[in-house]
Amino acid sequence: MSTTAKSETQLQNCARILVKCPDRPGIVAVLSSFLHKHDANIIESSQYSSDPENGTFFIRIEYHCEQLVRKRDEMEREFASIAAEHQMEYSFHYRAIRQRAAIYVSKETHCLMELLWEWQNGDLEMDIAVVISNAEAARPIVESLGIPFYYIPANKDIREQVEQQQIRLMEEYKVDILILARYMQILTPNFVSHFENRIINIHHSFLPAFIGADPYTRAFNRGVKLIGATSHYVTNDLDEGPIIEQDVERVDHRADVQTLKKIGRKIERRVLANAVKWHLENRIIVEENKTIVFH
């Protein structure tokens, strides 16, 4: 059997379970015994408790299990009663089932390019189902990779009808995750509610500094010595959603707004790519407008 084929089979047998429940002794024992009973081997495990006394407990377990495809329905059924007993919220995620992404982009394509690059390298566990843009700039590169590209002009006057078209496309393409790769359009509460904790945005500032429009100009005017970017889940409060990842670069008085934008593009690229990667690997749990990220 070739290495690749073997590796594909291994992926078929890999899964993750995310659990959230009241913190009390024995939770790890319950979970690990359940997995052991089904001959699953724990590959990676990360946990967090909001408070050792009466807090909430979160855990992500990645496991490997021979014949997983055959066994998983039974495992899920059995787990349902365990979960009920311990008041667990939980979800299973199978590596064999790749998430389907829609990437939204404007004429600024640097974040899209980075995502395509990482995706081609095999670093992003997703299929790119569709790219949607209010500009034509990205069409050639997107279509050259065989990915459907839709040009949908957007502005605030036609927002609702545009969003209805987009929602239909998301359904048609069975999209799991929406990535706003510098899309630069505000979304309505209706749209956001369709995709709770599944829309990832990149904001071009170190939030909560410079919420809203034109952050680089405002950073320039304030004379900051570091500029940043923030990737977060989109909620109905502009730039107030749960932060997934942030990073910064050093700048000095010589940097004008154009230079800040150039430097900023490098930060935006890597911050968004990291956030998407962790989302796809089911490393993120959203809790009370904050994220737990199990690196």
Q: Site residues (CB under 8 A) for its own copies?
A: 23-29, 31-33, 35-36, 39-49, 52, 64, 110, 113, 117, 121, 123, 206-210, 222-226, 228, 242-248, 252-254, 262, 266, 270, 289-293, 295
Cα–Cα distance between 228 and 260 in angstroms, integer? 10
Quote the least distance from Cβ 187 to its own copies, whole Å: 21
The verdict on whether 252 is a catalytic residue reads: no
CB-wise, 122 or 153, nearer to its own copies?
A: 122
CB-wise, 123 or 171, nearer to its own copies?
A: 123
Tokens 């407990």, located at residue: 57
Q: Which of 73, 237, 239, 252 is catalytic?
A: 239
Quote the least distance from Cβ 174 to its own copies, whole Å: 29
CB-wise, 120 or 161, nearer to its own copies?
A: 120
CB-wise, 23 or 127, nearer to its own copies?
A: 23
Quote the least distance from Cβ 161 to its own copies, whole Å: 34
CB-wise, 51 or 157, nearer to its own copies?
A: 51
CB-wise, 154 or 293, nearer to its own copies?
A: 293
Cα–Cα distance between 226 and 251 in angstroms, integer? 5
Residue 14: exposed, middle, or buried by beta-carbon count in 10 A (0-12, 13-18, 19+)? middle
Cis, peptide link before residue 208, omega less than 30° from 0: yes
Q: Give the active site residues.
A: 239
